[in-house]
């Protein structure tokens, strides 16, 4: 009874804390900022590299699909993993591995072996690693923000994500106009590594435990099937997913080339 009264007395104080004074949320926003800008700059870099450097503009769609399709297919699975394991660690590994991937791309570029098949391979790996980040980051926000501020926090994160997704190509274009693709790939790697450490610092303020189970594979696929069944039975969610897929293929790709 005493514990319940103490918990009730703490809730109003937590709700009075400004969202902008929430350090874990600020770090998550910082991580989302780095990721949104890094991903959009990467899409611009790989697109212009294929079109201008390799002179293979007719094959641009292959590269964009190689980035988007793994992300689309894997997110239902990575979303379940985000619920089972520590979200900040998933975000950190996704960012740091993509940063290392960009460093390898720089080596390939300077060695003149960054051919079209190699670019497609990097695009697939980048899409796979990115699919782990967004489910973890979106599910982390409710864990670090009070319910009274959750709607505001989600709106702010979406605004920042969309803004830097649009501003990223502009930043990348400026870098590319003054420097080479090697410097552009290096800039993207630096952005993603900064995002990785922003995610890692969040773990100092959160104490989520890794969920383990002896029958984990069975539960994993059971949860995935339940999610697919729920989507199939809800026409509204199904319509939203179709719209997002169409927008991703027909709008996001072309807009990255503007």
Between 249 and 115, residue with greater pLDDT? 115
Between 156 and 233, residue with greater pLDDT? 156
Q: How much is the pLDDT for 158?
A: 87
Q: How much is the pLDDT for 237?
A: 52
What value does the mean pLDDT take over residues 231-238?
55
**What structural domains and CATH numbers belong to the chain?**
22-147+160-256 (1.20.1250)
What value does the mean pLDDT take over residues 87-103?
94
Locate 131 and state its tokens: 């699919």
Mean of pLDDT over the chain = 78
How far apart are alpha carbons 86 and 45 in whole angstroms? 31
CA R_g for the chain = 20
Q: How much is the pLDDT for 199?
A: 87
25 alpha-carbon distance from chain centroid: 16
Residue 163 has pLDDT above 80, yes or no: yes
Q: Render pLDDT for 181-218 as a digit per residue (tens, 0 to 9).
A: 888 999 999 999 999 999 888 877 665 443 444 444 44
How far apart are alpha carbons 133 and 139 in whole angstroms? 10
231 alpha-carbon distance from chain centroid: 22
Between 3 and 250, residue with greater pLDDT? 250
Q: Render pLDDT for 59-93 as a digit per residue (tens, 0 to 9).
A: 888 898 888 888 888 887 887 787 788 889 999 99
How far apart are alpha carbons 87 and 140 in whole angstroms? 6
Q: How much is the pLDDT for 171?
A: 84
Q: How much is the pLDDT for 31?
A: 93
How far apart are alpha carbons 201 and 140 in whole angstroms? 13
Q: How much is the pLDDT for 188?
A: 93
Nearest to 185 by CA among 129, 130, 126, 134: 126
Q: How much is the pLDDT for 209?
A: 41
Q: How many CB atoms lie within 10 A of CB 174?
A: 10
Cβ-contact 81, 132 below 8 angstroms: yes
pTM over 0.85, yes/no: no
Q: Which residue has the tokens 């605004």?
A: 159
Q: How much is the pLDDT for 172?
A: 83
Q: How much is the pLDDT for 229?
A: 53
Which range among 52-56, 97-101, 166-170, 232-236 has the greatest average pLDDT? 97-101
């Amino acid at each position: 009874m005493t514990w319940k009264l103490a918990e009730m007395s703490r809730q109003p104080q937590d709700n009075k804390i400004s969202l902008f004074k929430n350090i874990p949320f600020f770090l998550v926003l910082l991580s989302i900022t780095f990721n949104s800008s890094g991903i959009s700059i990467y899409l611009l870099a790989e697109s212009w590299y294929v079109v201008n450097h390799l002179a293979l503009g007719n094959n641009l769609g292959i590269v964009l699909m190689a980035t988007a399709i793994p992300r689309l297919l894997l997110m239902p699975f990575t979303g379940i993993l985000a619920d089972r394991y520590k979200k900040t660690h998933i975000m950190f590994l996704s960012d740091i591995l993509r940063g290392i991937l960009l460093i390898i791309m720089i080596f390939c570029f300077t060695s003149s072996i960054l051919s079209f098949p190699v670019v497609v391979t990097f695009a697939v790996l980048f899409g796979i690693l990115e699919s782990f980040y967004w489910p973890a980051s979106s599910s982390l926000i409710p864990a670090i923000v009070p319910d009274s501020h959750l709607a505001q926090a989600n709106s702010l994160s979406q605004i920042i994500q969309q803004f830097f997704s649009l501003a990223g190509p502009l930043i990348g274009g400026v870098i590319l106009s003054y420097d080479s693709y090697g410097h552009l790939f290096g800039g993207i790697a630096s952005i993603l590594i900064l995002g990785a450490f922003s995610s890692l610092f969040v773990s100092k303020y959160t104490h989520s435990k890794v969920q383990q189970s002896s029958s984990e594979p069975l539960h994993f696929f059971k949860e995935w099937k339940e999610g697919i069944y729920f989507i199939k039975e809800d026409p509204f969610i199904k319509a939203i997913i179709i719209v997002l897929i169409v927008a991703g293929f027909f709008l996001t790709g072309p807009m990255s080339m503007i």
